[in-house]
Amino acid sequence: MSDRGGFRVVVAAISLVSILAGPGTPLARGGEDPRTATAFLQALRDRGLADLAIDYIDILRHDPACPPDLRASLDYVEGSTLIDEATRINDATRQQELLEQARARLEGFLKAQPGHALSRQARVQLARLLFERGRSTMLIAEEIQVPSQKAAKVDEARALYAKARDAYGEAVTVFGNALKAYPVSLPANDPRVAERNSLENDHLFATLKKGIAQYELAGTYPAGSAERASGLEAAMKDFHSLWEGHRSQLAGLAARMWEAKCFEEQGRIGEAVGIYKELLSHTDPQLRDLQSNISYFHIVALGKRKEYALAADEAVRWLEKYNRREETRSATRLGVLLELAKDLDAQLGANEDKAEKQAAAKRIVEAVSQVVRFATPYKNEALALLRKYKPSSAVKPEDLARISVDDAIAQAEEAMAARDWERAIAFYRAAIRKADARRDLDRINQARYNLSFCYYMNKQFYESDVLAEHLARRYPRNPLGPQAAELAMQDLVEAYNVHREIDRGSDLARLVGVARYAAETFSDREQGDDARLNLGQIELGQGKFDEAIADFSAVRERSPKKLEARTRLGGALWAKSRALDRAGEAKKAAAEATAAIDILAKTLQARQESQAPASDPGTLNNAADLAVALTETGKVKEALAMLAPIVKAQATRSGPAFSRLMEANLLAQIADNQVEPAIQSMKAIEQAGNSAGLTQLYLKLGMLFEKTMDQLRARQDRAGLERMQRAYRALLGTLAESRSGQSYQSLDWAGRGLLSLNAGEEAEKVYRRILSESVANPDFLSQAGSSDRLMLARVKLAAALRLQGTKEPKKLDEAASLVEEILSKNTKYLEPLVEKGNLLEAQAAAGQSDWNQAFRHWQDLAQKLGRSRPRPTSYFEAWYHAADCLRNQKDYTKARQTLNGVMRLNPGVGGPEMKKKYEDLLARLK
């Protein structure tokens, strides 16, 4: 039984037989003539009853008597039917889900039966699927307000249109090659004539659709851009060629219409209008559908020519002429209504008659009120006009008191379409109060669901949840039950994330309860899969790895969310492997890690085979998860090889998924010691601006720099070291300027790095920021050791000032004052004493003091440190500085005696590095 309708829907399908097949026609069963079943399926599809058609396909699929030939085609028919349904519904997200199901069916059909007679048509349907996914993605992009997210969605649509164009192009080639098998001429009674004509028709329409896909692809680029212009030229070339070769055929006439549309988009309105008029002169009734589109395009062109009155008249004539049931529900009609409203709006400015203005405004509101109810490319323009002529106003209690149920629902639906959530809420509440629960229960529940949705959109998540849970738990068999459960889960997710000051634990517990209920009650539906995904994510966050693995694994094979579930399953296995590794269970950890990598790799392959766009967030997150697992298990080269083509394919370099991808790429490059590529990846992450762990990435990249600089010093590669130091300095500066995710530790690390590069000015900014932010942070001040950390930050600020003393002597005075102030309060700490010695040397070098004063300071410090056992490195460092002060006084003999005396008493001199420093200084004293 299908997961779509259950028993109720199948009964409905059976009851429609007499309507669809005529009086006296029995139900088409699989064991009867397959032509009857095929005709019945086609009748369901033709009437827009895709849901019933899919349930009937399920009946046939489970009927043992279904003939093999019919059974073999069911996946193809179901895939095509799912696309039909996706094109009819008013929900872009749901469209995407249906199209994903269709893809699985059609690809399964082609994989199982590549030589089937319908295989060519299946490829055309896959091209159509890509086209519809592109259209649906563009609709979603229209609703997105964040520019970077909108751009990413447009890029996704662009990639889908390009794939659709190429897929139609392949179909054109396949059909063309198949036509070559037929003789140029055939006798009229030859049975192959019908086959050839059908094949030729398929060839022509694949060519037409290839051009339309190219036209839509061009439309994804900004107006006036070179890409848009070249895309339109390519589409025009296809359309013109098709029209020239087939002027009297439907495909040729349609191509001519689209060629005119390209002229219109190029601003050549006169040429476009001329072609539209030429095409409208055809009177064949079979061209009615084409003529309705031509008339619509003609109305648009007239509006662009500012012939608003004529355009409005043509729009009225269109609405009067094309009034059949399917025409009144078409997207073209919505486009005509919008054009009528725009043309009326354009004429109002010049009209002085108040009554006429009011009448025109009323007509505009009536027109756009119909348009805003549906997800089409016309919705946003219509919404702007609706708000202009019917601005939101508070609902008066007396209006609600006397309104009827029907009027309340109508007003609520209009407000909902206009996104006026407060107004919609008021009218839905009034409708629910006034309705009779005994007679209008279904209607009341629909109003409750819509009210819940309005609460959600108005960010009243708890109110929305109460209604949604009531529907889901009280009426699980109602078609709205699963949707209500889905909405309730989303309510609680949003409440948990937004209302952090409230009891988040209770929100989470309630979310788990709703998700458990949905997973059990709607186990055969998409909402059940969503519930399992929610549960798995919560359990993963709580460290309940086995429970998360079980929930992710339970998502149905046929689910549109299957690939997402597999990616999360791989992530759960990887998280479990890390936990086992930390617990010292290396063998178990390795086994879980291997399983995680295997699942993530296979899922990524499945995503790529499904022709997902290069910027698809699911693909990018999948690749990032796999790369991290490969990198951390020592397979760095494999991770980089896998990531390279995916990173290269990213046209829009922004968004959270792109940032995750680049973070994984950066970590792999760091692990492989690739400094320059890592710098480029870091820049890409900074520009994307969506990384939550930017500071940690800086720290990891900084460690790679330090390691590389040590290697360059060891090789005595002076040029390479200088280049690397410049890059490191830029990196530290960028980190210091970053305002997100910073802490005392991260800023101190950046400051110390800048000091090591003698970047005094940049280091000064860092330590002044540390001091100002830390002093103003009560949480920092309440921590143990905070006063010591503040003192050390002030010492490093003094060091930063000292480094600038060569060019700005006043900085030395400022540093001296700061050091004296620190020492007056902190006499037992080594760091300020060391900094005082460094400062005395800098003052001596600048002529502000003498070297003897610096020598005495270092000598006194060394003697104090010499009392410690074992002697610290700082003891040897102090004597080194004392000897260097003697060198600057040109007392080379005493300097040598000082160094040799320390080395005789302490042969190790504190370590190899310090010993080398002593030896190098001795060499300079000879």
pLDDT classification of 584: cutoffs 50, 70, 90: very high
Rounded to an integer, what distance in angstroms lies between the CA atom of residue 857 and that of residue 871?
18
CA angle 418, 409, 425 (to 5 degrees): 60
Q: In the predicted model, what is the mean pLDDT of residues 896-920?
A: 92
Contacts of residue 195, Cβ cutoff 8 Å, sequence gap at least 6: 182
The answer, yes or no, to whether residue 534 has pLDDT greater than 70, is yes
pLDDT classification of 26: cutoffs 50, 70, 90: very low
Q: What percent of the chain has pLDDT over 70?
A: 94
Q: Are 28 and 39 in contact (CB under 8 A)?
A: yes
Q: What is the pTM of this model?
A: 0.65
Q: What percent of the chain has pLDDT over 90?
A: 53
The answer, yes or no, to whether residue 523 has pLDDT greater than 50, is yes
For 102-122, the three-class secondary structure string (H helix, E strand, C coil) is HHHHHHHHHHHCCCCCCHHHH
Pick from 270, 299, 262, 266: nearest CA to 378: 299
Most distant pair of Cα atoms in the chain: their distance: 123
* Top-confidence residue, 432 or 192: 432
DSSP string, 117-171: TTHHHHHHHHHHHHHHHHHHHHHHHHH--SHHHHHHHHHHHHHHHHHHHHHHHHH
Rounded to an integer, what distance in angstroms lies between the CA atom of residue 495 and that of residue 573?
29
Torsion sign (Cα): 592, 596, 599, 605:
negative
- For the stretch 644-662, pLDDT in tens is 999 999 877 777 888 889 8
Half-sphere exposure of 627 (CA within 13 A, CB side): 28
Rounded to an integer, what distance in angstroms lies between the CA atom of residue 238 and that of residue 698?
51
pLDDT classification of 30: cutoffs 50, 70, 90: very low
- For the stretch 831-879, pLDDT in tens is 999 999 999 999 999 999 999 999 999 999 999 999 888 899 999 999 9
User: Where are the strands (E) in 784-857, listed by range?
Assistant: none
- For the stretch 86-143, pLDDT in tens is 888 777 777 888 888 888 889 889 888 888 888 899 999 999 999 999 998 898 888 8
- For the stretch 107-123, pLDDT in tens is 889 888 888 888 899 99
